[in-house]
Amino acid sequence: MRKIYYSFLLLCAFILPCSAQTVQPFKQGDRVVFTGNSITDGGHYHSYIWLYYITRFPNRRITVYNAGIGGDVSGQILERLDGDVFAHQPTVVTLTFGMNDTGYQNLKGAKADSTYAAKIAESLKSFRLIEDKLKQHPEVRKVMIASSPYDEKAKIKITPLIGKNAAMLQIASDQQNTAARNHWEFLDFNHPMVAINARLQQTDSAFTLQGSDRIHPTNDGQMVMAYLFLKAQGLAGKKVADVVINIGSKKVEKAENCTIITPVIGTEHIKFNYLANSLPYPLDTIPGGFGQPAKAQSLALKVIPFIDEFNEELLQVKGLANGKQYQLKIDGQSMGAWAAEDYNKGINLALINNTPQYQQALAIMHLNEERWTIERRLREYYWMHYSILKPKGLLFNDGPHTIDSLQRYAKKDFFVAVTVPTYQKARFKSVRDVWQKEIDLLTNEIYRINKPVNHLIEIIPAP
């Protein structure tokens, strides 16, 4: 039943008014800059994507940069392309916008239509200039991403802005046409997330991936975005590992994406050394990110088949005595006991969070989260400059007078008020340099400890 549900859900999600969407997988050495507004700035989807590459392809080192600025429209993105995007010397640039471009006016009828039309026209005018700028960098792959949706349907407290998502889809359509015209890549977050919301709202009218403000995807929504991106890259179905052992023939029938060394296969005792090429994907169960209440990344598993498609580390043993329980030990430690029938079907080790390989991946996840947290401090610094100081002619003017001005301004602007403490530190280049060194150190450490190691696996009768 679960597979039927997912099949229906994904069928709905991918019936799009567009051609098949593919995004080329990242390759060794890629420097990927995710460009967007607050959904990118404060979001996790790019970090979750990077974590997949870190664990699934331990020897394929890439670098991912967050180039989101909260509140940005296409015109503001245009103004910072050189200094905030191409300054990273990217090999891949993604671009998403449209949420802020369509405004937040609560209008109806002809007035709403004309207002949206004017805002769309203004956004696309700047997008034409962005297109020209991107074409000046033929060495860089471009991926246009249709924005995650504005949820007008959830039965939650905040009054919905009717017609806003339809306006956003007009921008998305232009993004797609622009991508096709230039032979760039295109991915749609909007339609699949609307389909998921609609499906879940049939039984829970308050359900939304977009959070309490109808705008910002919570961490489960950010994970859905990561899933859609990885799926578009054709990575679904690639297993962490797949091992099949046949007791009758005393053979290892399958060892996909791993190496089995010195197997000893008996009717009651199986032992072998197991070296996988990948680590399982660790999912954070701690709530965080946008939204009140905050949600955990792992909640996305309720709405997407991520485990089935992206996180299978399978161990199948054929021929164990039916009706008996068998203990699974890794490196001498018990992981639990399962029936012979379960082994015959296959056990997904990626779902056992106390395996040494999952614990290794979990440490990587926390280091990656620490990296994301430090990068967010730098993004707050750039938000202050591009959103607040640049319009006042104070771009990258970090003198004492700027601090005084911001502290006065903070009394009437909540977002400035909560960002000033970070800015007071970040305005010193030496502080920013140390933060960047911390990011680099964490990244180097992640790529040092992300290599799978050999484990001794034993299957014996349960006591």
Whether residue 298 lies inside any domain: the answer is: no
DSSP state for residue 315 in the 8-state scheme:
E
Range of the structural domain that residue 11 is part of: 2-232
Tell me, yes or no, whether 257 and 208 share the same domain: no
CB atoms within 10 A of CB 371: 21
Give the C-alpha separation, 453 to 275, whole Å.
Answer: 6
Token pair listed for 28 = 């060794």
Total-model pTM = 0.95
Q: What is the pLDDT of residue 16?
A: 43
**Backbone conformation region of residue 393, classed left if phi is above 0, alpha if psi is from -120 to 50, else beta:** left
Tell me, yes or no, whether 319 and 226 share the same domain: no
- Residue 454: CA atoms inside 13 Å, Cβ hemisphere, count? 7
**Backbone conformation region of residue 355, classed left if phi is above 0, alpha if psi is from -120 to 50, else beta:** beta
Give the C-alpha separation, 172 to 169, whole Å.
Answer: 5
pLDDT band at residue 12 using 50, 70 and 90 as cut-offs: very low
Which helix or strand (DSSP H or E) is residue 427 part of?
Answer: none
Whether residue 287 lies inside any domain: the answer is: no
DSSP 108-155: -HHHHHHHHHHHHHHHHHHHHHHHHHHHT-TTSEEEEEEPPPP--S--
- Does residue 378 contact residue 426 with C-beta atoms inside 8 Å? yes
Tell me, yes or no, whether 50 and 115 share the same domain: yes
Tell me, yes or no, whether 100 and 147 share the same domain: yes
Q: Is 375 exposed, middle or buried (0-12, 13-18, 19+ CB in 10 A)?
A: buried
Give the count of domains, the chain. Answer: 2
Sign of the Cα torsion 458, 267, 460, 240 reads positive
pLDDT band at residue 288 using 50, 70 and 90 as cut-offs: confident
- Average pLDDT score, the chain: 94
Domain boundary among 208, 232, 256: 232
pLDDT in tens, 424-435: 999 999 999 999
Q: Is 111 exposed, middle or buried (0-12, 13-18, 19+ CB in 10 A)?
A: exposed
Tell me, yes or no, whether 266 and 220 share the same domain: no
Tell me, yes or no, whether 215 and 326 share the same domain: no
Q: What is the pLDDT of residue 361?
A: 98
Radius of gyration of the chain (CA): 24
- Does residue 340 contact residue 267 with C-beta atoms inside 8 Å? no
Tell me, yes or no, whether 220 and 269 share the same domain: no
Give the C-alpha separation, 454 to 438, whole Å.
Answer: 30
Residue 401 confidence (pLDDT) above 50: yes
- What is the residue whose two structure tokens read 């161990």? 315
Q: What is the pLDDT of residue 211?
A: 93
Helix (H), strand (E), coil (C) string for 34-80? EEECHHHHCCCHHHHHHHHHHHHCCCCCCEEEEEECCCCCHHHHHHC
Whether residue 268 lies inside any domain: the answer is: yes
pLDDT band at residue 289 using 50, 70 and 90 as cut-offs: confident
Tell me, yes or no, whether 75 and 14 share the same domain: yes
Whether residue 288 lies inside any domain: the answer is: no
3-class DSSP state of 27: coil
Question: For the ranges 264-268, 273-277, 441-445, 452-456, which has the lowest average pLDDT?
Answer: 264-268
Tell me, yes or no, whether 167 and 255 share the same domain: no
CA-based angle 442:446:451, to the nearest 5? Answer: 165
3-class DSSP state of 329: strand
Strand order in the sheet with 241-246: 251-256, 241-246, 313-318, 347-348
- Pick the closest to residue 182 from 146, 137, 232 (CA basis): 137
pLDDT in tens, 341-358: 999 999 999 999 999 999
Give the C-alpha separation, 20 to 15, whole Å.
Answer: 10
- Does residue 154 contact residue 208 with C-beta atoms inside 8 Å? yes
The stretch 296-321 carries a mean pLDDT of 97
Give the C-alpha separation, 82 to 86, whole Å.
Answer: 5
- Does residue 227 contact residue 49 with C-beta atoms inside 8 Å? no
DSSP state for residue 304 in the 8-state scheme:
S
Q: What is the pLDDT of residue 176?
A: 97
- Does residue 193 contact residue 224 with C-beta atoms inside 8 Å? yes
pLDDT band at residue 19 using 50, 70 and 90 as cut-offs: very low
Q: What is the pLDDT of residue 445?
A: 98
CA distances from 437 to 200, 425, 432 (A): 43, 16, 9
Whether residue 45 lies inside any domain: the answer is: yes
Q: What is the pLDDT of residue 6?
A: 45
Tell me, yes or no, whether 255 and 200 share the same domain: no
Q: What is the pLDDT of residue 292?
A: 67
Domain boundary among 207, 232, 257: 232
Tell me, yes or no, whether 395 and 436 share the same domain: yes
Whether residue 296 lies inside any domain: the answer is: no
Q: What is the pLDDT of residue 347?
A: 98
pLDDT in tens, 410-422: 999 999 999 999 9
At 253, which amino acid appears?
E
Tell me, yes or no, whether 177 and 255 share the same domain: no
Q: What is the pLDDT of residue 137?
A: 98
- Pick the closest to residue 328 from 152, 186, 461, 156 (CA basis): 461
Q: What is the pLDDT of residue 244?
A: 98
Burial 199-229 (b: 16+ CB within 10 A, else e): bbbeeeeebbbbbbebbbbbbbbbbbbbbbb
pLDDT in tens, 229-278: 999 999 999 999 999 999 999 999 999 999 999 999 999 899 999 999 99
Question: For the ranges 8-17, 87-96, 325-334, which has the lowest average pLDDT?
Answer: 8-17
Give the C-alpha separation, 217 to 211, whole Å.
Answer: 5
Whether residue 291 lies inside any domain: the answer is: no
pLDDT band at residue 218 using 50, 70 and 90 as cut-offs: very high
CB atoms within 10 A of CB 164: 24
Whether residue 47 lies inside any domain: the answer is: yes
The CATH number of whichever domain residue 86 belongs to comes to 3.40.50.1110
The stretch 206-220 carries a mean pLDDT of 96
Q: What is the pLDDT of residue 11?
A: 45
